Chain A
Amino acid sequence: MRLELRTFDVESVAFGERTVLAGRALTISREEMAALAGADPAFRSIDVQLVRPGEAARITQITDVIEPRVKVGGTAGVFPGVLGPVEPVGRGRTDRLRGLAVVTAGEVPWLGAKGLFVAHDGLLDMSGPGADLHPYAGLHLVVLRFEFADGADHEACERALLVAGQKVARALATTAAAEEPSLVETRELVRPDRPLPRVLYACQVQSQGVFLRSRLYGRTLDELLPTLVHPNELADGALTSGGLGGHGIKLHTWMHQNNPVVDGLLARHGTEWDFAGIVLHRGHFYLFEDKQRVALRIAEIADLLRASGVIFTLGGGGNNITEVMLAIQECERRDIRTVLLAWEHAGPEGSDYPLPYAVPEAVAIVSTGNVDEPLELPAMDRVVGGAAIRVRPEVGGVAFPVTGPVRLERRTLFLGAADPVGFQRMGAVES
């Protein structure tokens, strides 16, 4: 499976008559994007806004972040199974815009819901101390802000948002056709010319019902037992996010497209190791036996492929870590060495037990810091979204103002703060 990935850098974005890329300047027709994205009956209205990298802007109620990509030539398209038919991807040519992301946002109606299946609201700052916590501060953002029609239920809202974001992402990438790429990479898992240790990436996602789903070729992963995926499939959007909960810890579609663990494993493939693929799995199964099934599958797949090492990342919090820890245990018992990249839950003082569950075999952990630490955010010059976000669905909802300085008691409301796949430089230092 060989993919030619062509990167087109975008250095400025502005609204204009037509949607066109000229050199590194992208012009976007607001009307065209609004018409493309807003067509679904679940939406009452759409507003398109631009946010510059490093702007003193706060964006609220984000539902996904997607990098513009499009396949060129051949029949397959990006986001197979959602925007188009289920077809093989990860081959041929794909164009991407670097330096820009599409953001879908809006106040998804709660409709009286509480508990797990609620569209939780979060926020994101493009400058200030919050900007260090997520990978988007250096990007231009095209924010599609939606209002929802009366009568739109949760499933309809989730579906509408998924498709709208991907449509705009694909459309923006088509502007690259007439331009020259700044970078062309060939992504392929070529057989190494000498024996090298085999490594796998066990990538956990979340999928367990509305607002918490991930999709592979358009199919939700609620029933997923671990499966093997080629990194190029992620590059072409075969894995997409639909999650609207736990903002600090969730994985956006952009994070799947640009997964730094994948990129890092690819970079040293053939020199440091033989990267044999991604074991995709979901956590948070409700039966202990199901967690054991997941752990065994990961370890047996690794064993079958003669892997010497597996690196793990988390797709969610709480008991999601149980599947990963059990898998680490099963791998280590088969003499397959493991590394875990994870955030901590060490309480607001940093003195609490740091992980919800652990096994003694988890001897190699890289920490992205403590998600329970409070966060003081200054006021931003601009808020893209309402003056308040909704918190506490369990009491029917309380408005949390976001226009001035904001103190978050813990980081879970701040997008990307837990850094689940390690984009940022955060860590925990013992003091």
Chain B
Amino acid sequence: MSAAPLRVVHYVNQFFAQLGAEEAARTAFGVREGPVGPGIGLQKALGDGGRVVATMFCGDDTAATDLPGLGAAVEGALRDLGADVVVAGPAFNAGRYGLACGEVCARAVAMGIPAVTAMNVENPGVELYRRRTYVLPTTPTALGMNETLGRLAHFAVRLGRAEPIGAPADEGYYGRGVRKTRILQRRAVDRALDMLAARMGGAPFRTELPLPAVDRADPAPPVADIRGARLAVVTTGGIVPAGNPDKLKQSNSTEWRAYSIDGLERLEPGKFESIHSGYDASAANADPNYVVPIDAMRELERSGAFGAMLPRYYVTVGVGTAVGEARRMGREIAADLRASGVDAVILTAT
């Protein structure tokens, strides 16, 4: 006995909703009954497995310039539509459309409705949304439309029926950036030696660890008036008051602390110590200013090289600390610094 067709809600941009091209890019969000544009092809590919009951649409500019707004509109619409699964796009190489599709699906997933979209690997929507929803690869242009609609339909039916989805490489979606340790068929050494043999022979090989892009920020604008600036020191070198009163961890940190240097001309050995487990702490314990250079900063504060020191410094420990934790701690410390009127920070790393 076959299951009832799934209720599928589709999302397209203004162009695929047949409302116009670039001139209609500021079309407001709306919902229409049934399939529109490529939704008709999607319906064909779904067959009896699903019915495109409604199509959400929005102008690419409207969407991309206010993704949270789009998300809120999508949430409102989906609450009334009774969707079993949401399909967005495909967006191919269209950047604004890709972001919109990603946001639509991410919102659906957050509401508990499975969702899938598709776009080309170059589309910025891939990197931003592949961790929050399923994103299938496509050709760069809409030449691949029919084939992509077929894959989207098939994937959507499996999602709607709550079938288990396997690994990205097997199922054909962009990896969600999550890596799990598993027992594989062959020993790691044999995999490595085979990879070496392949490289020696010029044969194709596939790395087991593609390196993700590094998260970079543009340099902040320079401090306009350094002689009047308020400065603070932040360290990952694990310098804490002697006895580690807050029991900061020696590695794999999840916490940071701020300690007072009010009235201190320098960090006195014996009053401060290093609890970092990744470097020889003998120099830092003999003179903590080697890691948190309060003595030099006080001298330059007095001579007017900069305005004033914040009367505390911030500390955590590196050593195996997860980047995600470091990012969060960084944001929290930055918020504290901003609230304290700090203009610039000297970070010290070990």
Q: Which residues of A contact B (CB under 8 A)?
A: 114-118, 132, 197, 199, 208-209, 260-261, 264-265, 268, 272-273, 286, 308-309, 311, 317-319, 337-339, 341-342, 344-355, 358, 360, 362-370, 372-373, 392-395, 409-410, 412, 419, 421-431
Contacts and interface: CB of A to CB of B under 8 A. Distances in A.
B149 to A, nearest CB: 26
Nearest to A393: B250
A349 B178 contact: yes
B178 A364 contact: no
Nearest to B177: A351
Given A309-B200, A428-B180, A430-B179, A347 B187 contact: no
A115 to B, nearest CB: 4
B279 interface: yes
Contacts of A431: 167-168, 175-176, 178-180
Given A116-B277, A116-B280, A348 B322 contact: yes
Given A272-B197, A367-B208, A428 B182 contact: yes
A352 B322 contact: yes
A264 B191 CA distance: 11
Q: Which of B178, B199, B209, B273 has the most CB of A within 10 A?
A: B209
Q: Which of A347, A348, A362, A423 has the most CB of B within 10 A?
A: A347
Nearest to B318: A318
B248 to A, nearest CB: 7
B348 to A, nearest CB: 14
Nearest to B280: A116
A125 to B, nearest CB: 15
Q: Which of A349, A372, A427 has the most CB of B within 10 A?
A: A427
B82 interface: no
A428 B179 CA distance: 6
A212 to B, nearest CB: 10
Given A260-B187, A355-B211, A286 B180 contact: no
Contacts of B318: 318
Interface string B194-212: 0111011000010111011
A269 to B, nearest CB: 11
Interface in B11-34: none
B93 interface: no
Contacts, number: 214
6 contacts: A393-B250, A424-B187, A426-B183, A428-B209, A429-B180, A431-B175
Given A115-B281, A430-B178, A367 B209 contact: yes
Contacts of B180: 350, 370, 373, 428-429, 431
A430 B175 contact: yes
B302 interface: no
A361 B209 CA distance: 13
Contacts of A363: 207
Contacts of B185: 425
Q: Which of A308, A360, A431 has the most CB of B within 10 A?
A: A431
Interface residues of B, number: 57
Contacts of A394: 244, 247-250, 275, 277
B207 A114 contact: no
Question: Does more than half of chain A's interface fall in helix, strand or loop, or is it mixed?
Answer: loop
Contacts of A272: 197, 200
A309 B280 contact: no
B169 interface: yes
Contacts of A347: 322-325
A393 to B, nearest CB: 7
Contact of B250 (A115, A117, A354, A429): A115
Q: Which of A348, A351, A352, A424 has the most CB of B within 10 A?
A: A352
Contact of B320 (A115, A260, A345, A360): A345
B331 interface: no
A202 to B, nearest CB: 12
B189 to A, nearest CB: 3
Contacts of A261: 189, 192-193
A401 to B, nearest CB: 19
Contacts of A425: 183-188
Contacts of A370: 179-181
Interface string B249-280: 11010000000000000000000011111111
Nearest to A341: B192
A198 to B, nearest CB: 9
Nearest to A365: B209
B245 to A, nearest CB: 10
B163 interface: no
A209 B280 contact: yes
A139 to B, nearest CB: 17
A1 B327 CA distance: 53
A311 B193 contact: yes
A318 B320 contact: yes
A268 B195 CA distance: 13
Given A116-B279, A272-B200, A428-B179, 10 more contacts: A115-B275, A197-B200, A342-B209, A345-B322, A347-B324, A360-B211, A370-B180, A425-B183, A427-B191, A428-B182
Contact of A366 (B168, B192, B247): B192
B106 to A, nearest CB: 16
B199 A364 contact: yes
B193 A115 contact: no
B192 A422 contact: yes
